Amino acid sequence: MTGVTGTVLGYGLAVPGARTAADLLTMSVGEHPAVDPAALIGRKGLRYKDRATQLALCAAGDALTDAGLTGGEDGTGVPGDDIAVVVSSNLGNVDTVCRVTSEIAAGGSVAISAMDIPNASSNVTAAEVAIRYGLRGPNLTFCNGGTSGLDAIYWALVLLATGRAQRALVIGVEPDNAQTRALTGHDRILDGAAAVVLGRPGAGGRARVSLPVRAPDTASCAAQLDAHGTPGVWFPPERSTMVGPLVFDLWSAHGAASGAAGVMQCVAALGWLETARPGPVYAMVSGAEASAAVAVAR
Amino acid sequence: MLSLPITGTGAVASIGHDPAEIFANLCAGHGGRSALRGFDAGRFGAQHLFEIDDRPAPGIDEPGRATRFLLDAVAQAATDAGLGEDLSRIPIVVGTGLRELRSAELWWRDGTPFDADRLAFGPALRERFGALDTWTMSNACSASLYALACGADLIELGLAEVVVVAGVDVVTESMFGLSDRVQRQPPGHVLPFDARRRGTILGEGAAAVVLRREARPGDRVHGRLRGVGVNCDAHHATAPDLAGVTGAIRQAHDRAGVTPDEIDLIIAHGTGTPLNDRAEASATAEVFGVAAGRPLITGIKSLTGHTSGSAGVLSLVVALRALAEGVVPPIANLTEPLAEGAGLRLAMGAVVPHHGVTAQVNGFGFGGVNAVAVVGAA
């Protein structure tokens, strides 16, 4: 184990059917109304933003407020210069990229809109979050496959440990649309965002989060968490075959969460711990090349 | 202060298959600009890019090229560093602007088979090198210098002894088309820091370096990483902001423990766009103050094109060679420096003999993501 850990200072959700962390543990399987960003944060500033960015802006705003940060200089004493943004998304701008390609095939570059330029770059979501909330610290976007959400947590903790930031806003987001469904082969994608604000150990907060570990397979990944004690519950990866009394499946109520999964698990862990259920919470995500896991505890 | 030996380098671009060839062509003024190789020219105003010439036939594109270039650059750097092809215990941080989105475009438009897992480079790095701790970071045009900051942080925190940092990008049709949409008069050539500049031209490339905590006996040390500054403008989706850019440069100097008058060479971001070059020149003048005329400033994009996420580490590899060889390639195509460049020492015309020991490398990207590295000679 390394000494690199952190604390969760706040969270936000823009997930169909879940407003609070505890909702993620109790929501029913089935259709829930889509998140309406304009209803949550107003129409201003949403025009031309892609769906992933709109969802992320909603979750980010809630997380910052929950953590007592409203961006920029404020009463918490943490200036925007010291707040990092770390986004995880695999599919975020696939819709724009595919649509623009079709438009070029149909009518050449004269037929496309310059308003799509920011959305053609995969870091658009992190950039727009920084702009809206005045966050001028390091700004990172991980598109790292199935482990990406916990990878974002990992790098947020690294940024805090090296002093590059005092707070890190971590957002996992995936949009549901024709392009992302076709590309992944899933019949439904999350169409939501989850966010946490992390600080250094000792900064107070809702829970402690360990530095995520990576391993080639789920068993060796799980073994690396042993030092954190016997888990109160396991949140398994999506489409996992893990079963047992300690396994709680978060995923049946949602579309494929992909790059949002690891961050959603951390939010769900807060719900678990704050409803007085036993910890620590172990959570794991899996990608094509590796699995990653984290321990969240009081 | 940080001083991490760089023990391996690798690169591929339109002007060369390895760092030596790329540096020789930069010094000779040979550029990689050519007529469109993978796109249907009839759909675009601009007719040129700086593509790597590896397609099976003219006008025929294929998926997986970004992955191929990345694996090439990483293999070069790993071999150079004496690591061989087994990187199972070595973290690899990859910065990219556009990942494998070109493959997704071909899948969407033409039905070319493509697996969503391959948008990220982890699966291919595991297959080829057995690598497990791999991260694909998509940070626009400063991505590989952002990755460099991350790689250095791993060593600083004791999470790794050796790290591979890489950058890669090929040109996506969506980004090329959108760039074409707003540059209604195609720029024709890239003219960094020139008053006549009209925009940038995209290019393709990959670059990689191996960082270590300590050099081993027998390691060939190309130079030392002194520090990397990273921040975000939080200002505009595509336009740079002077405060953010100056902040990143100052942060890099602070982390490296150097003052502006200790910087001998700057490899500028220098895209040839009106906005970038004005902001970069102004920021340099502001940060360097009375020393603004001291460092020699060059840039590579007039000959390599704007290679997006790979540009930063590609420039860093060039900086290391310039420090090692004592010569600096000039900014090709530059003849009439921009007004904001008055007082700066822009490298023009011929190759400049130069015996500096400390270089600064700039990378600025869409979304205001800034990353600036300071490297020292071996």
Measured CA to CA, the distance from residue B236 to residue B217 in angstroms comes to 48
Candidates B99, B122, B154; nearest CB to A287:
B122
Give me the pLDDT at residue B60, please.
87
The residues with which A247 forms a beta bridge, in sequence order, are A234
Q: Which of B306, B309, B280 is nearest to B295 (CA)?
A: B280
Nearest-Cα distance to chain B for A45, in Å, is: 12
> Which of the four pLDDT bands, split at 50, 70 and 90, describes residue A78?
confident
Residues of B in contact with A158 (CB under 8 A): 150, 153-154, 157, 159
The residues with which A295 forms a beta bridge, in sequence order, are A282
Mean pLDDT score, A126-144:
97
Nearest-Cα distance to chain B for A44, in Å, is: 16
**A258: nearest CA partner in chain B:** B117
Q: B17 touching A, CB under 8 A?
A: no
> Which of the four pLDDT bands, split at 50, 70 and 90, describes residue A75?
low
**B136: nearest CA partner in chain A:** A144
The DSSP H or E segment spanning A10 is strand A5-14
Residues of B in contact with A97 (CB under 8 A): 101, 104-105, 108, 172, 174
The CATH homologous superfamily to which domain B4-377 belongs is Thiolase/Chalcone synthase (3.40.47.10)
Q: B254 touching A, CB under 8 A?
A: no
- For chain A, give the percent of residues with pLDDT over 70: 97
Q: B234 touching A, CB under 8 A?
A: yes
Candidates A121, A158, A288; nearest CB to B117:
A288
Instruction: Inform me whether the pLDDT recorded for A63 exceeds 90.
Output: yes
Chain A to chain B Cβ contacts (< 8 Å): 236
3-state secondary structure of A138: coil
Q: B135 touching A, CB under 8 A?
A: yes
Residues 259-318 of B with CB under 8 A from A: none
Residues of B in contact with A150 (CB under 8 A): none
Nearest-Cα distance to chain B for A227, in Å, is: 17
Beta carbons within 8 Å of A194's beta carbon, 6+ residues apart: A11, A12, A13, A14, A15, A59, A171, A172, A173, A260, A263, A264, A266, A267
Residues of A in contact with B142 (CB under 8 A): none
Mean pLDDT score, A118-143:
96
Q: Which DSSP category does B48 fall into?
A: E
Alpha-helix runs per DSSP H in B16-164: 19-28, 65-80, 101-110, 122-129, 143-156
> Which of the four pLDDT bands, split at 50, 70 and 90, describes residue A74?
low
| CB neighbour burial string for A266-298, b if at least 16 within 10 angstroms, e if fewer | bbbbbbbbeeeeebbbbbbbbbbbbbbbbbbbe
Are B43 and A104 inside 8 Å of each other by CB? yes
**B244: nearest CA partner in chain A:** A136
Are A130 and B234 inside 8 Å of each other by CB? yes
- Integer angstrom CA distances of residue A177 from A34, A148, A201, B13: 12, 20, 39, 35
The residues with which B363 forms a beta bridge, in sequence order, are B371
Residues of B in contact with A98 (CB under 8 A): 104-105, 108-109
Are B367 and A110 inside 8 Å of each other by CB? no
Give me the pLDDT at residue A8, please.
98
> Which of the four pLDDT bands, split at 50, 70 and 90, describes residue A1?
very low
Could you read off the pLDDT of A161-192 as tens digits, one per residue?
999 999 999 999 999 999 999 999 999 999 99
Which structure tokens are listed for B366? 């869409």
Candidates A102, A127, A183; nearest CB to B368:
A127
Interface mutation target, options A81, A110, A122, chain B, most CBs of B under 10 Å: A122
Candidates A103, A151, A289; nearest CB to B123:
A289
Candidates B42, B126, B135; nearest CB to A142:
B135
Q: Which DSSP category does B24 fall into?
A: H
Residues of A in contact with B244 (CB under 8 A): 136
Which structure tokens are listed for B359? 């270089």
DSSP E strand stretches across B196-271: 205-212, 223-232, 265-267
By DSSP bridging, strand B92-96 and strand B162-169 are: parallel
By DSSP bridging, strand B265-267 and strand B296-298 are: parallel
Residues of A in contact with B135 (CB under 8 A): 142, 144, 151, 155
**B112: nearest CA partner in chain A:** A183
Measured CA to CA, the distance from residue A140 to residue A117 in angstroms comes to 19
Residues of B in contact with A127 (CB under 8 A): 140, 232, 237, 366-369
**A110: nearest CA partner in chain B:** B181
The pTM assigned to this predicted structure is 0.98
Examine residue B56 and say whether the peptide bond preceding it is cis (omega within 30 degrees of 0): no
Q: Which DSSP category does A27 fall into?
A: P
Q: B365 touching A, CB under 8 A?
A: yes
DSSP E strand stretches across chain B: 4-13, 34-35, 48-49, 92-96, 134-138, 162-169, 205-212, 223-232, 265-267, 296-298, 327-328, 345-346, 352-353, 358-365, 369-377
Give me the pLDDT at residue A245, please.
83
Would residue B78 be called left, alpha or beta, if left means φ above 0 and alpha means ψ between -120 and 50 degrees?
Answer: alpha
- The answer to whether A89 touches A52, Cβ cutoff 8 Å, is yes
Handedness of CA B47, B281, B94, A212 (dihedral sign): negative
Could you tell me the domains of chain A? 5-204 (3.40.47.10), 209-297 (no CATH)
Q: Which of A119, A123, A160 is nearest to A142 (CA)?
A: A123
Q: B1 touching A, CB under 8 A?
A: no
**Mean pLDDT across chain A:** 94
378 residues of chain B, pLDDT tens digit each: 799 999 999 999 999 999 999 999 999 999 999 999 999 999 999 999 999 999 988 888 999 999 999 999 999 999 999 999 999 999 999 999 999 999 999 999 999 999 999 999 999 999 999 999 999 999 999 999 999 999 999 999 999 999 999 999 999 999 999 999 999 899 999 999 999 999 999 999 999 999 999 999 999 999 999 999 999 999 998 899 999 999 999 999 999 999 999 999 999 999 999 999 999 999 999 999 999 999 999 999 999 999 999 999 999 999 999 999 999 999 999 999 999 999 999 999 999 999 999 999 999 999 999 999 999 999
- Range with the poorest average pLDDT among A25-29, A218-222, A293-297, B243-247: A25-29
Give me the pLDDT at residue A35, please.
97
Q: Return the ∠ at Cα B224 (arms to B219 and B227), rounded to 5°.
A: 145
> Which of the four pLDDT bands, split at 50, 70 and 90, describes residue A2?
low
Give me the pLDDT at residue B3, please.
96
